[in-house]
Structure formats: C-alpha cells, structure tokens
Amino acid sequence: ETGGLLLETTRGVLRCRGLLNCGGLQSDRIARMCGITPRVRIVPFRGEYYELIPQRKELLKGLIYPVPDPRFPFLGVHFTRTVHDIREAGPNAVLALKREGYRKSSFNSRDAAETLMYFGFWRLALRYWKTGLEEMYRSFSKAAFVRALQRLMPEIRSEDLVPGGSGVRAQALAPDGTLVDDFLIQEAPGMIHVLNAPSPAATASISIGRAIASRAGQVLGLG
Ligand SMILES: Cc1cc2nc3c(=O)[nH]c(=O)nc-3n(C[C@H](O)[C@H](O)[C@H](O)COP(=O)(O)OP(=O)(O)OC[C@H]3O[C@@H](n4cnc5c(N)ncnc54)[C@H](O)[C@@H]3O)c2cc1C
C-alpha cells in the first residue's frame, strides 16, 4: 500500500508504516510471506536438559562451561544455575523434525520436509554426519549424556540427574551448509527481517534491541 504496508494476519488486516520481523523459528517464513527471498533457511535444533536432583545441588556452585568448538555455533553441554536456583545440565543439539517441537516425538511433515529438501541441510549433513549421530545418540542415551557432562564434572553420576526441559534453536543454515553464527538481518523497503540472532548473549540482550531499534529508526522512519 502507498506509504505503508497492509498485513494480512490470522487476527485480521493491519495497516502499518513498517514491519520488523523478529519471528525466531518462523522468521524465514515470515520474510518469504513478505516477498523477500531469505538468504538462509531456519533449521530447528532441539536442546534438551537434565536437572540436578535437590540432594546433589551442592555439586554446582556457579556456572561451568566448556571451551567452545569454533566449528559449531552450539557450545556443547554445560552446567547453569537458573534464577529459580534450578541446576541445569545441557543442552545437547539434536536435529528437530518440528520447528516448535519440544519433545523427542515431535514431528511436523511440513517442517521436516522443508529441512530435508534443503540443499544446505545435506551439505551440512555430509560434513558433520558423525557429530549429528552422536548428538542423537546422546539424546536417547542418558549414559552418553552423563559421559559428556563428566568431562566438566567428573563426580557427577546418572542418578544425580532427572530429565529437565528443552528448547528449540532457530538455527539459520546457508545454502552452502554453513551454520550461520553471526547476526543476519535482511532489509527491504519498509521492512527489517531479523533472520538470525544467535547465542551467546542474545537472550534479552539490550544492546541487540538497541541496534535493531536504531535500524528501525533509519529504515522504517520510526526514530
Ligand atoms: C536450548 C537453548 C539454549 C540457549 N541458550 C542460550 C544462552 O545461554 N545464551 C544466549 O544468549 N542464547 C541462548 N539461546 C539462544 C536464544 O534463545 C536465541 O538466540 C534468542 O531467543 C533469539 O531471539 P529472537 O528474538 O530472534 O527469537 P525468539 O526468542 O525465538 O523470539 C521469536 C518470537 O516470535 C514469536 N513468533 C514466531 N512466529 C510468529 C508469528 N507468525 N506471529 C507472531 N509471533 C511469532 C515467537 O512466539 C517468539 O516469541 C538458547 C536457545 C536454546 C533453544
């Protein structure tokens, strides 16, 4: 529409001056619905956690993180204390067959097909199939998960842990199979699409918010 956009949503039609897409797991689809060709595809990777049982809480006093492998944007399993004083161990990084699929059994045919029909996915799979299989094995085998944790905390035992929650990473994957590990923002007249806002330090990051707000000021005239 002249001088603005007309958005057709499930809650009706919206008129607006500009559009800022921060849709995480759905961000590439939202971009496509806006007529943009995203330079990446979102491929979901589930991260599963265990939690330390209350009787073994004293094993963890702070955070324990590994040295990251620079080939991957995922850090590897680590130990975290949450604001509610839950002591988490994880997450792993397993290919998810559903974008918002928080269980091992989660499956969505459209999501799975979009991943499996993407060249970038097969290029990644060819390069890192062994790591991918190891992650899947660790997802189903608690003993394997515990072995990975013992590299950081040798005294931890399987019986110290109970299953915790999970999350799904919106991993941007380039057509050449590269796991994008930097911010990716695509712009078009009246629109900003945040297609990758990766960890670390992304969650609720004020400086990322400021950077995007400043672009919105310039591109969308919202300053
Ligand atoms: C297991 C796990 C562990 C992580 N650990 C860390 C960490 O330790 N440190 C760190 O910095 N980062 C971490 N991250 C990454 C961090 O969560 C992401 O980098 C960050 O959330 C990305 O922010 P975002 O705003 O782009 O997307 P999101 O936080 O995913 O927000 C997207 C929002 O868009 C909404 N949405 C989607 N589609 C639509 C639609 N069609 N209409 C309306 N709304 C829609 C969603 O509901 C959601 O609220 C972790 C992620 C996972 C999964």
Residues 90 and 68: their CA atoms lie apart, in Å, by 14
The pLDDT of 182-204, averaged and rounded, is 89
Please name the residue whose Cα sits nearest to atom 37 of ligand 1.
23
Contact predicate 220/192, CB 8 Å: yes
In this predicted complex, what is the ipTM?
0.96
Q: Which atom of ligand 1 is nearest to the CA of 90?
A: 1
Q: What is the pLDDT of residues 116-149, one digit of tens each?
A: 999 999 999 999 999 999 999 999 999 999 999 9
**Is 63 near ligand 1, meaning CB less than 6 Å away?**
no
pLDDT band at 223 (very low <50, low <70, confident <90, very high): low
Answer whether residue 39 shows pLDDT above 90. Answer: yes
55 C-alpha to ligand 1 centroid (Å): 32
Q: What is the pLDDT of residues 159-181, one digit of tens each?
A: 999 999 999 999 999 999 999 98
User: Helix or strand or coil: residue 155?
Assistant: coil
Cα–Cα distances in angstroms (integers) from residue 182 to residues 40, 73, 166, 185, in the given order: 12, 9, 23, 10
With a pLDDT cut of 90, the percent of the chain lying above it is 80
Answer whether residue 1 shows pLDDT above 70. Answer: no
Per-residue confidence (pLDDT) for residue 203, from 0 to 100: 79
Token pair, residue 209, equals 């918010």
Per-residue confidence (pLDDT) for residue 218, from 0 to 100: 87
Per-residue confidence (pLDDT) for residue 48, from 0 to 100: 97
Query: Which mutation among 169, 171, 180, 195 tests ligand 1's pocket best, with the greatest number of atoms within 8 A of CB?
Result: 169
Cα–Cα distances in angstroms (integers) from residue 183 to residues 64, 73, 91, in the given order: 26, 12, 21
**Is 44 near ligand 1, meaning CB less than 6 Å away?**
no
Answer whether residue 205 shows pLDDT above 90. Answer: no
With a pLDDT cut of 70, the percent of the chain lying above it is 98
* Domain 43-172 class in CATH: alpha beta
The pLDDT mean for the chain works out to 93
Per-residue confidence (pLDDT) for residue 196, from 0 to 100: 93
Helices 142-150, 119-140: axis angle to 10 degrees equals: 90
Contact predicate 121/129, CB 8 Å: no
**Is 90 near ligand 1, meaning CB less than 6 Å away?**
no
203 C-alpha to ligand 1 centroid (Å): 7
Answer whether residue 201 shows pLDDT above 80. Answer: no
Q: Domain-by-domain residue ranges, the chain?
A: 18-40+180-223, 43-172
Q: What is the pLDDT of residues 56-90, one digit of tens each?
A: 999 999 999 999 888 888 888 999 999 999 999 99
Please name the residue whose Cα sits nearest to atom 29 of ligand 1.
24
